[in-house]
Amino acid sequence: MEVGSIEVVVEPDAAEYRRVLSERAHFTIKNLRYGLGVLGAAVIIWTINTLVIPDFDGPWHRTILLGLSIACASFLFVYVAFNHSIRQQANKWTGTGEPITYSLSPKGIKSSSKLLIWESPWSRFTHIVETDSDLLFIVEGNDFVPIPKRFVSGQTALEQLRRLILSNAKGTVDLMS
């Protein structure tokens, strides 16, 4: 059965958008924090061992310490850059404070608000995920289009939306049934 166009009007909320992004992004902030914490602990332990144990001070020990320090700095850089990217994208999505209308059709998704009109064919979405609370459309690269399911008008509309996605999406689709 062919499904026509479906419209969903979303009230932007920056905190909700950041939550969705951090849950489903490739490197979540939570995982980056754990990685940074583990590497930081390794650097501290290695430094204490190098300073306290006299026979522990060899040239390869310093090389390992340098490598761990570089890994920590790299994790910190990725964490800061990723967190900044999420905030920037959330501000872009919620910048007008006006409702955003998403029109999903067999051609793709069109987003419009007072200041923004954006269109994307289904072929640009690499991954579409449905969680308990959201539909998340991941566009090529690191852009996301989150549609909180609470803005979809009822279970029937949600089922139609799922059928539309399944019949037109080109990327990976993970929907609840």
Domain extents in the chain: 6-13+97-174, 29-93
Q: How far apart are CA 113 and CA 94, in angstroms?
A: 10
Q: What is the pLDDT of residue 107?
A: 92
Token pair, residue 159, equals 């089922």
**Those residues with Cβ within 8 angstroms of residue 150's Cβ, 6 or more apart along the chain or in another chain:** 133
Give me the percent of the chain exceeding a pLDDT of 90: 12
**Which residue would you say has higher pLDDT here, 148 or 50?**
148
Q: Which fold has domain 6-13+97-174?
A: PH-domain like (2.30.29)
pLDDT bucket at 1, cuts 50 / 70 / 90? very low
Q: What is the pTM of this model?
A: 0.59
Tell me the pLDDT tens digit for each residue of 120-167.
899 998 888 888 888 888 887 667 778 888 889 889 889 999 999 999
**Those residues with Cβ within 8 angstroms of residue 118's Cβ, 6 or more apart along the chain or in another chain:** 110, 111, 112
Q: What is the pLDDT of residue 27?
A: 43
Tell me the pLDDT tens digit for each residue of 100-114.
888 999 999 998 887
Q: What is the pLDDT of residue 96?
A: 57
DSSP 91-154: HHHHTT-S-EEEEEETTEEEEE-SS-EEEEEGGGEEEEEE-SSEEEEEESTT-EEEEEGGGS-S
